[in-house]
Amino acid sequence: GGRIVTPNVDICRAVARDSTLRELVCSAEIVVADGMPLVWAARLLGRPVPERVTGADLLWSLSGLAARRGWPVYLLGGPPGAAAGAARTLSRRFPGLRVCGVSAPPYGFDATAEGRARVRREVVAARPRIVFVGLGFPRQDRLADELREDLPDAWFLGCGAAISFAAGTLPRAPEWMRWAGLEWAFRLACEPRRLTRRYLANDLPFAARLLTTALATRVAAAR
């Protein structure tokens, strides 16, 4: 068991400012790059990662693995109805998939010990082997870290909007946009009120600094 974290530019910007969040990411058993700027920066540094690996893609690949192995999965998060919708979609795609539970707790449930304890009891009672936690960073990762104590043999994937994507309640960018590093632009067009400040005012400048620093580091090392 363990935690899987998929940092994108927004997560990297957060951990650059907060050592507690940095430890939350770095203590995960598996960390993969979700975001083409991270893939590009790794290449510029001369330490390339194999490819971009997103939580939205891992939701599907790990569900397929779970169906083949007979592992029960749990879907936690998303707006009302999304987890149940995702469960139906995944079960149609992977016959034999055992969805042992779904839950869409109200926003802010994790602000109190009682709210977190209630959700933890529900997940633990279902005894999943894989838990998809779609609450956004860092809430999903903090909850997964707590649940690790209760379910040490289970795997936890913080998957952001992946549950909504699978349910069809939120559209996902075409594949060519994902691999061109333009998925953020598609999501911005879909949710401008929620994402404009995050993407344009915060993430784009951070990504530019990240790539510039990676290039400068590579040039300096080559001298």
The verdict on whether omega for the bond into residue 106 sits within 30 degrees of 0, i.e. cis, is no
| CA quadruple 174, 130, 144, 55: dihedral, nearest 10 | -10
What pLDDT is stored for residue 223 in this prediction? 83
Q: Band the pLDDT of 112: cuts 50, 70, 90.
A: very high
Q: Return the CATH superfamily for domain 2-175.
A: Response regulator (3.40.50.2300)
The verdict on whether omega for the bond into residue 72 sits within 30 degrees of 0, i.e. cis, is no
Q: Band the pLDDT of 158: cuts 50, 70, 90.
A: very high
Q: Band the pLDDT of 124: cuts 50, 70, 90.
A: very high
Tens-digit pLDDT profile for residues 184-218: 999 999 999 999 999 999 999 999 999 999 999 99
What pLDDT is stored for residue 222 in this prediction? 86
- What mean pLDDT is predicted for residues 95-104? 96
Tens-digit pLDDT profile for residues 22-68: 999 999 999 999 999 999 999 999 999 999 999 999 999 999 999 99
What is the overall mean pLDDT for the chain?
Answer: 96
DSSP 110: G
Supply φ then ψ for residue 45, to 5 degrees: -75, -10
Rounded to an integer, what distance in angstroms lies between the CA atom of residue 166 and that of residue 177? Answer: 18
Does the pLDDT at position 145 exceed 90?
Answer: yes
CA angle 97, 61, 133 (to 5 degrees): 80
What pLDDT is stored for residue 36 in this prediction? 95
